[in-house]
Amino acid sequence: MLRFLERRISRVQLSDGGKVLVVDDDRAVGLVLQGLLRQSGHEAIYVDSATEALSRLEQEGFDVVLTDLRMPSMDGMQLLDALAKRGLGVPVIMLTAHANVSNAVEAMKRGAADFLPKPFDREEVLFTVDKALRNGRHAADQPEKQPIADEALPWLGESAPMKEAAELIRRAAKTSSTVLIRGESGSGKEVAARAIHTASPRASEPFVPVHCAALPENLLESELFGHEKGAFTGASSRKPGRVELAQGGTLFLDEIGDISPSVQVKLLRLLQEKEYQRLGGTKSISADVRFVAATHQDLEALIERGEFREDLFYRLDVIPIWIAPLRERRADITPLAERFCAEIGARNGRPGAWLDPAAVALLEARAWPGNVRELSNFVERLIVFTDDDRIGAAAVERELERQPRRLRGAAPAEPEGETLEIRRGGAERAAIREALEKVGGNRTKAARLLGISRRTLYNKLAEMSDA
């Protein structure tokens, strides 16, 4: 099975092409990487020094930086530090002929998105760049990451449910116990995970996220545990996995409910024994890692259907933390919206932007099915499309009208005399639409979320289209 890993990598559907900056003092290597990326649909620009790269990054936007580690004058680590100091939050992939775990861990501590050895494999480079693009776009949808505060978690909110969650986070952070964070998509689960790490004794060590839903089974296994040289075709050198890179720190397993049964078995052993093996390896490696997992799925329902191991669930669910949806904590809408307005305004050259009371009242009246993420995106649109610093009710209404009807938050009027059967059908259709929205249109996942078979879901969708 392992020998097919490279072929599976090549079958992974790449994201829309991104703008990639290639940095390498070896011109031949840099031009090869530039050509490879361009052939794969990316816009790639090559520069031969970190100094020039920094200048280009300050002048124009890039989605990913692919940089050599060893370079004269300014090396890859120094480039990482310079990007962090200037607040240029672009994902950086470190590429080097001097690959070892200590270099990889140091790069991750300083903010690198990934690490690749030389000589590089064509498909692995493309896959790693694509993964950085997807994760970068995922991160762009999240609220700004902030350290945990002494009295509150400002990016989660200040309502009663969030104060309770904040207290659980503070208590959990002091321990090494495994934490399972649950809540709807966009509610702030990764923010909570980072808060746990930031307030823990491991704060100076790496926080390493793995987005489990984004990777096929074999790729996820390699991503987690790493591989030995020769483990599969194209594995030209040993590569550390995310568990190894998180040594001493925190491994965040996002969307844990989407991992396959075979990976569940290996993850269970890792949680039980604190040991694992690289792909193609025979030596057991000790893992000094704190585990934080998150999911929007109903794990208990998955267990009943035989899709998630019950013993793994109990290993993960040592300290459960629930992040309530925004519609259940409306007291958080105003402070979050005002915080987003200040932060996003400053980033977009509009530091004076503010929401007037009428605009805030309209925001508070919405259900926000996309939770904190949707609120953040909506505030950003308000700032971008409003010329005045004062953002009023008219601007909010304008942006609401631009959205599809199902996202406007206004419930359609019910006709007088509507029968119970008609109302039941309407509620069923609304539940199906909401489930499809939560899983990005994936009908298999939507059927699981609704507790029905795929065939039943397809039949109901056909009935909806005919209605």
Q: What stretch(es) of the chain map to CATH 1.10.8.60?
A: 329-407
As a whole-number percent, the residues of the chain with pLDDT over 70 amount to 80
> Which tens digits make up the pLDDT trace of 434-456?
777 676 667 777 777 777 776 67
pLDDT band at 180 (very low <50, low <70, confident <90, very high): very high
pLDDT of residue 406: 47
Say if residues 215 and 352 touch (Cβ distance below 8 Å). Answer: no
- 31 pLDDT above the threshold of 60: yes
Q: What stretch(es) of the chain map to CATH 3.40.50.2300?
A: 2-141
250-254/207-211 β-pairing: parallel
Residue whose C-alpha is closest to residue 267's, from 233, 338, 315, 304: 315
Task: Kindly state the greatest CA–CA separation across the chain.
Answer: 78
Region 329-407: CATH code: 1.10.8.60
Region 2-141: CATH code: 3.40.50.2300
Selected from 3.40.50.300, 2.90.10.10, 3.90.1150.220, 3.40.920.10, the CATH number assigned to the domain covering 160-214+241-324 reads 3.40.50.300
Q: What stretch(es) of the chain map to CATH 1.10.10.60?
A: 422-466
Q: CA-to-CA distance for 224 and 209, rounded, in angstroms? A: 10
- 80 φ, ψ (degrees, to nearest 5): -55, -45
pLDDT band at 15 (very low <50, low <70, confident <90, very high): very low
Averaging pLDDT over each range in 4-18, 157-171, 306-320, which range is the top one?
306-320
Selected from 3.30.70.580, 1.10.10.60, 3.40.50.11440, 3.40.50.720, the CATH number assigned to the domain covering 422-466 reads 1.10.10.60
- 263 pLDDT above the threshold of 50: yes
Could you please report the per-residue DSSP string of 434-464?
HHHHHTTT-HHHHHHHHTS-HHHHHHHHHHH
Could you please report the per-residue DSSP string of 299-320?
HHHHHHTTSS-HHHHHHHTTEE
- 317 pLDDT above the threshold of 90: yes
pLDDT of residue 12: 38
- Mean pLDDT, the chain, integer: 81
Of 189-203, 226-240, 319-333, 411-425, the one with minimum mean pLDDT is 411-425
Peptide bond into 119 cis (omega under 30): yes
> Which tens digits make up the pLDDT trace of 328-356?
998 999 999 999 999 899 888 888 999 99
pLDDT of residue 123: 76
Q: How far apart are the first and last CA of the chain?
A: 47
118's tokens: 């030389």
CA dihedral 85, 91, 94, 95 (to 10 degrees): -140
pLDDT band at 155 (very low <50, low <70, confident <90, very high): low
